Chain A
Amino acid sequence: MRDVFLSNCEKNFIQKLVSEGHRLDGRNYNESRRLDVTFGSEYGSCIVRLGETKVLAQVSCEVTQPKQIRPNEGILYINVEISPMAAPQFEANRQTDLTVYLNRLLEKCYKDSKCIDLESLCIVVEEKVWSLRVDVKVLNHGGNLIECASIATLASLAHFKRPDVTRSGDRVIIHTIAEKDPIPTVLYHYPVCMTFAIFNNEVLLSDPSFIEESVCTSSTEEGINTGGGLLVIGMNQYKELCLLDLNGAALYDSNIVHKAIISAAESSKQIVDLVKQRINSDDTMRQKRIKINFADMITSDHLLSLTRKDLSIQLKKFNVDDMTLKNDMEHEDNDDEPEPSKYDGKFENKVMTIFEIYSLISVVPSLPQTAEIISNKGVSKWIEISSDSD
Chain B
Amino acid sequence: MAEIYKLIHPLKYFNDYISREIRPDGRKFHECRNIKLNVNSLKTAEASAVVKCGNTTVVCGIQLELASPKAEEPDFGYLVTNLELPALCSSKYRPGPPSDHAQVTNYLVSNIIVNSKCIDLKDLCIVPDKLAWVLYCDMVCLDNDGSLVDACIIALISSLKTLRLPTVTYDAETEDINVDPDIRTPLKVYGLPVATSFSVYKLPERDILITDPSIYEEEMCGGIGSNFIVCSNQSLLCGTQKFGGSNLPPESQEEALKISRDRANVVEKVIETCLANNCEINEI
Contact = CB atoms under 8 A, between A and B. Distances in A.
Nearest to B39: A369
A341 interface: yes
A170 B68 CA distance: 18
B255 A374 contact: no
Interface string A138-180: 0000000000000000000000000000000000000000000
A347, A357, A375: most-surrounded residue (chain B CB, <10 A) = A357
B31 A363 contact: no
A338 B207 CA distance: 14
A371 B34 contact: no
Nearest to A341: B251
B52 interface: yes
Nearest to A358: B262
A380 interface: yes
Interface residues of A, number: 31
Contacts of A345: none
A325 interface: no
Contacts of B269: 363
Given A343-B206, A351-B258, A353-B28, A338 B249 contact: yes
Contacts of A291: none
B25 interface: yes
A370 interface: yes
B40 A369 contact: yes
A364 B270 CA distance: 8
Contacts of A368: 277-278, 281
A339 to B, nearest CB: 11
A70 interface: no
A351 B276 CA distance: 31
B35 interface: yes
A390 to B, nearest CB: 13
A353 B266 CA distance: 15
A363 B34 contact: no
B278 A369 contact: yes
Contact of B30 (A354, A369, A372, A380): A354
B31 A369 contact: no
Given A338-B251, A354-B258, A381 B274 contact: no
Contacts of B40: 369
Interface of B: 25-31, 33-41, 52, 54-55, 206, 249-251, 255, 258-259, 262-263, 265-266, 269-271, 273-274, 276-278, 281
Lowest 8 CB-CB distances: which A-B pairs, in order? A371-B274, A365-B277, A372-B36, A371-B273, A370-B38, A358-B262, A379-B33, A363-B269
Interface of A: 337-338, 341, 343, 347, 350-351, 353-355, 357-358, 361, 363-365, 367-375, 377-382
